Chains A and B, each alone.
Chain A
Amino acid sequence: MNASTERRQRLASRGVQAAFLIVLIALWYVATTRWRVSPLLLPNPVPVLSDFWEVLTTGEFIDDLRVTLSELAAAFVIAACGGLIVGYLVSRSHYRIRVFEPLFAAVYSVPIILFLPLYVLFFGLGPASKIALGASISFFPIALSTIAGFGYVERMLVIAARSMGASDYQLFRYVLVPAALPIILTGMRIGFTVALLSIIGSETIASLAGLGHRIVHLAEAMEMTRMFAYIIFVVAIAAILNALVSALEARVRRAR
């Protein structure tokens, strides 16, 4: 296959993607105008877009966005610090790895969102319960990947560095960290994604403020147009955050 056919194929794929999107929006439009789908189930795309624009320009989203983002930041910082420290301490001996890694993996496989009612009972309906839940959910992938990163550094590298007279700090800085970093970064990205998901999820289920709460509030008030606008907004925010984190990860990976 030569370069020009490959490029033509890529263009064709892009065309199919664009056509798919256009057909989807056209179907949405026709369904609301011609097929008389109730606007309570599916509002017309035009007012949804104008509402979306209104939400953006008036800045009414700022309060909810601030709540959600600060919960996310607090939860992720707690989870990252805890996960890195615990993971590093566990990874220092094979015995500890064999004791703790299966335990963490077992807890990680339980859907921790189940414990949300307990968190609400302990921490109330405010941001504290969301931070605690998000931190506990994202702790596990970070701790597990830290154990995997530091625990399975090739012995040869460590022995070589030691025999060349590396100090503890030098061993850590120039051997262990570069070897472990890629795995830890993947774990941190996964941790960030699940923290975002669990915070929006817990805001949806039980909360007083935040983007998830706003969507539920609009759904209960049957303001479907505004609710669709907010859904688009939240999906866009999530996509931007995930893209930012991926870009940051790629950057750190290159700079190590």
Chain B
Amino acid sequence: MTSRTTWTAAALRAWLRRPWLARIGVVVFLLGVWEIAARWLIDPMFISPPSRVFMSLDALLETRGVPAALRVTFWELGIAFVLSVVIGLVIGLPLGLAPFARRSFMPIILLLYGTPQVTILPLFVLYFGIGPASKIAFGVSHGFFPVIVTIVAGVQNIKPILLTSARSMGASRYQILRHIVFPHMIPSFFAGMRLAMTGVLLGVLLAELYVSTAGIGYFTTLFTQSFDPTRLLGLVALLAAMAIVLNEIVRRAEVHFSRWHSE
């Protein structure tokens, strides 16, 4: 009887020590600290407890213009992502396949990739206006470099023996592309898409925060200046959720499509 109870106690302790449970515990603990600090310790002009932020999410969504702003940001992210991937492919594939072009232009691309583009953010606004076009363009400027870099690396990493044997068996250029280059590029292509999503999120949100007349940047500025932390936190939380969902979709796709290649 006693051995039985000790067994269940040990099992209970093992069950309690599961990492995901502790992870939830950490998050709940942090939310609790935030709740207590916001309710009793910090000036309510600056922070609002998570319970109130959550409760007023529907009030936020009823604020005139906020749903439209979220929709606009979502479309900006989507269009910038698609454009980044297409541009990255169009530049990356030829660069990866032609060694001379690669050696000539890759250093330039890596140099551009390494510079903080945010210094030319005012130029994007000047050229593309303060509407969605400048956000999309700025997002693309962050998104297409990682696609190029990973595509080039992916094409470069194809084992030469595969290309040589295909050629010696008389494969045409199209057949080599279709049956060797494309299948082997898929893992790096999806890795590039994941990095592109990170870059596009950064670029579009930076541009939104910098200048915006109806997008989420307008509302974050408005809520900051009117000391309305409840709605500001709610809006930021919604955007963070959007970013997490988009990142997760791309990451899942990467894991899914790279499986065949992993062994």
Contacts and interface: CB of A to CB of B under 8 A. Distances in A.
A95 interface: yes
B209 interface: yes
B106 to A, nearest CB: 9
B27 to A, nearest CB: 7
A20 B108 CA distance: 9
A234 B205 contact: no
B205 A113 contact: yes
A117 B208 CA distance: 12
Interface in B120-167: 120-123, 125-127
Given A12-B100, A99-B23, A102-B23, A200 B122 contact: no
Contact of B118 (A103, A204, A242): A204
A65 interface: no
Given A109-B247, A234-B119, A114 B240 contact: yes
Contacts of B104: 12-13, 16-17, 20
B229 A106 contact: no
A239 B224 CA distance: 34
Contacts of A9: 100, 103
Contacts of A235: 115-116, 119
Interface in A34-61: 40-41
Contacts of A114: 205, 209, 236, 239-240, 243
B170 interface: no
Interface residues of A, number: 47
A98 B19 contact: yes
Given A110-B244, A121-B229, A200 B116 contact: yes
B116 A196 contact: yes
Interface in A186-220: 193, 196-197, 200-201, 204-205, 211-212, 215-216, 219
A9 B220 CA distance: 53
A120 B227 CA distance: 11
Contacts of B103: 9-10, 13
B26 interface: yes
Contacts of A200: 116, 118-119
A17 B103 CA distance: 9
A170 B107 CA distance: 43
B107 to A, nearest CB: 7
A111 interface: yes
A121 B224 contact: yes
B191 interface: no
B202 A204 contact: no
B26 A103 contact: yes
A20 B103 CA distance: 13
Contacts of B26: 99-100, 103
B198 interface: yes
Interface string A105-129: 0100111011111101110000000
Interface of B: 17, 19, 22-23, 26-27, 46-47, 100, 103-105, 107-108, 111, 114-116, 118-123, 125-127, 198, 201-202, 205-206, 209-210, 220-221, 223-224, 227, 229, 232-233, 236, 239-240, 243-244, 247
10 contacts: A13-B100, A17-B107, A100-B26, A102-B23, A111-B201, A114-B243, A118-B229, A118-B232, A219-B123, A242-B114
Interface of A: 9-10, 12-13, 16-17, 20, 40-41, 95, 98-100, 102-103, 106, 109-111, 113-118, 120-122, 193, 196-197, 200-201, 204-205, 211-212, 215-216, 219, 227, 231, 234-235, 238-239, 242
Given A204-B210, A234-B116, 15 more contacts: A12-B104, A17-B104, A41-B127, A98-B19, A109-B198, A110-B243, A110-B244, A121-B224, A121-B232, A197-B116, A200-B116, A200-B119, A215-B119, A238-B119, A239-B115
